[in-house]
């Protein structure tokens, strides 16, 4: 039913997009997106989520991001953020923030798959900063620099060049030491 108005709008020189939403199992996302694109004559497709499960109430921003990453990888053009408050209450400022961040992560993951210029480079650059234990550059290039800083400061490491997860057993630091030892 959405394909006919989309085609008529295109023929009349009017922009349109198709909205599709609702819970959807992971294995149905790609075929659903591809069918919607075909049936709407490749009109821009906008999705809310989709939520991949209903049992994660309070975490719908995560279930929506999982679905969003899969949908965008399959050809969806726009993602709508979903908040943790979905189906529970009207979202507050922090709920919207968490929903937007989750959706941005989903979109970025899909951009890498679709080879959007700059997406993989952003990840590769960040990985180099992580490998080099360059905390300042990681924070500057993180998708959410404020969250990066807040999490890093929650439990500061004893040594500034590692995180508190691995500490002295940091794989990146060990790899650097091994490389230095092999060149000497």
Say which residue the tokens 């943790």 belong to: 84
Query: What's 12's domain CATH number?
Result: 3.20.20.540
Say yes or no to pLDDT of 184 above 70.
Answer: no
CA-based torsion, 105, 106, 109, 110: positive or negative: negative
Domain check: are 38 and 111 in the same one? yes
Query: How many domains are contained in the chain?
Result: 2
Q: What is the mean pLDDT of residues 145-172?
A: 80
How high is the pLDDT of residue 137?
96
The H or E element containing residue 171 is helix 171-183
Of the residues 98, 116, 134, the one at which a domain ends:
116
Say which residue the tokens 């075909």 belong to: 38
Quote the crossing angle between the two packed helices 119-131 and 171-183, to the nearest 10°: 70
Domain check: are 105 and 124 in the same one? no
Between residues 49 and 64, which one has the greater pLDDT? 64
How high is the pLDDT of residue 104?
96
User: How many Å apart are CA 2 and CA 13, to the nearest integer?
Assistant: 17
Which of the four pLDDT bands, split at 50, 70 and 90, describes residue 165?
Answer: confident
Of the residues 116, 148, 174, the one at which a domain ends:
116
Per-residue pLDDT tens for 95-146? Answer: 999 999 999 999 999 999 999 999 999 999 999 998 888 989 999 999 999 9
Count of Cβ atoms closer than 10 Å to residue 69 Cβ: 24
Say yes or no to pLDDT of 52 above 90.
Answer: yes
Edge-first strand listing for the sheet containing 78-80: 18-21, 45-48, 78-80
Determine the structural domain holding residue 135 and report its residue range: 120-183
Which of the four pLDDT bands, split at 50, 70 and 90, describes residue 3?
Answer: confident
Count of Cβ atoms closer than 10 Å to residue 164 Cβ: 12
The closest alpha carbon to 61, from 79, 81, 41, belongs to: 81
């Amino acid at each position: 039913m959405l394909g006919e108005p989309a085609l008529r709008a295109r023929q009349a020189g009017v922009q349109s997009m198709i909205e599709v939403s609702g819970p959807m199992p992971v294995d149905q996302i790609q075929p659903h997106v591809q069918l919607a694109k075909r049936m709407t004559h490749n009109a821009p497709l906008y999705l809310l989520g989709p939520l991949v499960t209903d049992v994660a109430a309070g975490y719908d921003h995560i279930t929506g991001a999982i679905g969003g990453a899969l949908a965008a990888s399959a050809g969806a053009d726009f993602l709508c953020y979903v908040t943790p408050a979905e189906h529970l209450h009207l979202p507050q400022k922090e709920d919207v923030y968490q929903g937007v961040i989750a959706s941005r992560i989903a979109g970025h993951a899909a951009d890498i798959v679709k080879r959007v210029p700059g997406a993989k480079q952003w990840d590769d650059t960040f990985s180099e900063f992580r490998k080099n234990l360059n905390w300042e550059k990681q924070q500057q290039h993180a998708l959410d620099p404020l969250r990066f800083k807040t999490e890093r400061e929650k439990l500061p490491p004893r040594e500034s060049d590692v995180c508190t997860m691995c500490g002295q057993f940091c794989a990146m630091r060990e790899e650097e030491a091994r490389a230095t030892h092999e060149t000497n």
